[in-house]
């Protein structure tokens, strides 16, 4: 069966393209053209058929939530609750990143629990199984790796982060620059680097890239080119190793598109605000506008417990300058395995960031909702405010928990309500119709 990009190149508008066009309020032909060019992807899988979500040029910035067990905490029911909570909170995609327990079980249960496109990192299971089978993850054999990629795609993965851009040359760059302040922070990335160094071999995902493409094309799974050497501190941002991997991933994204596979490029990581615009523009230029999937970026290294905020600040900037998919960060980042509330808080922070980014990325169409909210506040129309809010139930709950004496006001100002007082002064000079 053909992939979305192959259908698009043949002039066919698929049902998935129709759904995306309707949700994004753009023409079906626009979606088809951009999918054909590879500037929009629709994570999909012929075996599962998830909710159709468009990611890329001219579309709203999407938010990914990541869940998964660890070697310390294996609670299958908790992961299902987290998956459902992420979907309810507004995540557009989900990544299942388990490394503890029965990995096939947790993956399949998560896939059955949500309608979202679900992605993963196949290296996690590959190295876990090699460690269990041989007592040493560096004894992973290539056939097991490719078999696992195939099986996970068959289970229904809509997108897959595969670390193809790490090669012997990038490791040499890492050595020559004197390693890093923040080290390596990608589990999949450091596992592949360790395997390459232990075996003295090239990364099979890079060396046999065409084989990776052939597997994912079979299922129309999007290949998300993993960022295994991403910066884990802002002082490592844009070092030679990171830039070298980005360059390779951009090159591979072009090759993958030519071969008929939908492609995403993954980005950092940790990055100061003044580098975000350059990073996004560099990726877009080098990849021919391939959709960009960014982890935040986290914009400061010193706020553990509040990294959903440092990431939201970075995410708003990356969305503003053209990033297409944002991976959330939770308050537990750098500290612990996220729980259900962490997932909810992380998704909501990222949704706010994506919205703020889109307001500036698409100013001609992205600010009308804010204008309507301003008028509702001016006119003390509380129900309209709730209807326009990103998270209406949260807003209503806060107001209900501190009920004012005068229902027109809130307990912040009470009798000294500025909006009410100003309305009395300027009631004959309203700008725009009263709501």
- Please list, in sequence order, all residues whose beta carbon lies within 8 angstroms of the beta carbon of residue 31, skipping any fewer than 6 positions away: 13, 17, 20, 21, 24, 40, 54
The Cα 328–Cα 356 span in angstroms is 15
Per-residue confidence (pLDDT) for residue 408, from 0 to 100? 84
Query: How far is Cα 130 from Cα 427, in angstroms, rounded to an integer?
Result: 73
User: What pLDDT, on the 0 to 100 scale, is given for residue 428?
Assistant: 76
pTM: 0.96
Contact (CB, 8 A) for 43 and 53 = yes
Comparing CA positions, the residue from 261, 224, 220, 215 lying closest to residue 16 is 220
Q: What are the structural domains, with CATH classification, of the chain? A: 4-361 (3.20.20.540), 368-426 (no CATH)
pLDDT of res. 409: 86
* CA-based nearest residue to 131, from 143, 121, 139, 120: 139
Q: What value does the mean pLDDT take over residues 36-42?
A: 98
C-alpha 189/C-alpha 226 separation (Å) is: 8
Residue 421: band (very low, low, confident or very high) from pLDDT cuts 50, 70, 90: confident
CB atoms under 10 Å from CB of 226, counted, come to 28
| DSSP structure string for 411-430 | TTTGGG-HHHHHHHHHTTS-
With a pLDDT cut of 70, the percent of the chain lying above it is 99
Mean pLDDT of the 307-320 span:
98
**Residue 417 banded pLDDT, cuts 50, 70, 90:** confident
Query: Structure tokens of 21?
Result: 């066009």
pLDDT over 70 at 433, yes or no: no
286-303 per-position pLDDT tens digit: 999 999 999 999 999 999
Kindly report, residue by residue over 327-376, the tens digit of the pLDDT: 999 999 999 999 999 999 999 999 999 999 999 999 888 799 999 999 99
pLDDT of res. 407? 85
**How many percent of the chain have pLDDT more than 90?**
91
Sign of the four-CA dihedral 392, 393, 399, 403? positive
Q: pLDDT band for 406, please (50, 70, 90 cuts).
A: confident
Confidence at residue 434, expressed as pLDDT on a 0 to 100 scale: 54
Q: Which residue, among 316, 305, 313, 312, has the nearest Cα to 328 in the 3D structure?
A: 312
Report whether pLDDT(432) > 70: no
pLDDT number for residue 209? 98
pLDDT tens readout for residues 143-180: 999 999 999 999 999 999 999 999 999 999 999 999 99
What pLDDT, in 10s, does the model give residues 341-351?
A: 999 999 999 99
pLDDT the model gives residue 387 = 97
């Amino acid at each position: 069966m053909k992939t979305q990009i192959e259908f698009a190149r043949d002039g066919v508008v698929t049902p998935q393209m129709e759904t995306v066009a309707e949700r994004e309020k753009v023409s079906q032909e626009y979606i088809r053209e951009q999918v054909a060019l590879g500037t929009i992807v629709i994570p999909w899988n012929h075996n599962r058929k998830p909710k159709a979500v468009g990611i890329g040029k001219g579309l709203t910035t999407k938010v990914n939530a990541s869940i998964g067990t660890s070697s310390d905490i294996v609670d299958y029911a908790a992961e299902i609750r987290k998956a459902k909570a992420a979907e309810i909170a507004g995540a557009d995609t989900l990544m299942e990143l388990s490394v503890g327990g029965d990995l096939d079980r947790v993956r399949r249960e998560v896939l059955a629990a949500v309608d979202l496109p679900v992605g993963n990192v196949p290296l996690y299971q590959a190295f876990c199984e090699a460690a269990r089978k041989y007592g040493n993850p560096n004894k992973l054999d290539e056939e097991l790796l490719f078999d696992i990629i195939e099986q996970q795609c068959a289970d229904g993965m809509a997108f897959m982060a595969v670390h193809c851009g790490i090669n012997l040359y990038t490791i040499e760059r890492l050595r020559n620059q004197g390693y890093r302040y923040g080290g390596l922070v990608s589990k999949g990335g450091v596992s592949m680097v360790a395997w390459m160094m232990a075996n003295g071999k090239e990364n099979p995902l890079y060396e046999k890239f065409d084989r990776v493409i052939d597997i994912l094309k079979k299922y129309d799974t999007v290949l998300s080119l993993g960022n295994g050497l991403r910066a884990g501190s802002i002082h490592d941002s844009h070092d030679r190793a990171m830039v070298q991997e980005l360059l390779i991933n951009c090159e591979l994204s072009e090759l993958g598109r030519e071969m008929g596979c939908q492609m995403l490029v993954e980005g950092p990581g940790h990055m100061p605000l003044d580098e975000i615009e350059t990073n996004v523009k560099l990726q877009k230029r080098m990849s021919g506008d391939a959709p960009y999937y960014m982890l935040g970026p986290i914009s400061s290294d010193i706020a553990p417990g509040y990294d959903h905020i440092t990431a939201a600040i970075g995410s708003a900037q990356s969305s503003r300058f053209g990033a297409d998919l944002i991976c959330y960060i939770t308050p537990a980042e750098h500290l612990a395995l996220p729980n259900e509330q962490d997932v909810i808080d992380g998704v909501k922070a990222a949704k706010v960031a994506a919205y703020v980014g889109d307001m500036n990325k698409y100013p001609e169409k992205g600010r009308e909702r804010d204008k309507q909210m301003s008028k509702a506040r001016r006119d003390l129309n509380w129900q309209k405010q709730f209807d326009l809010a990103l998270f209406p139930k949260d807003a209503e709950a806060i107001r209900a928990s501190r009920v004012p004496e005068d229902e027109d006001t809130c307990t912040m100002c009470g009798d000294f309500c500025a909006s009410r007082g100003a309305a009395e002064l300027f009631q004959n000079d309203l700008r725009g119709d009263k709501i």
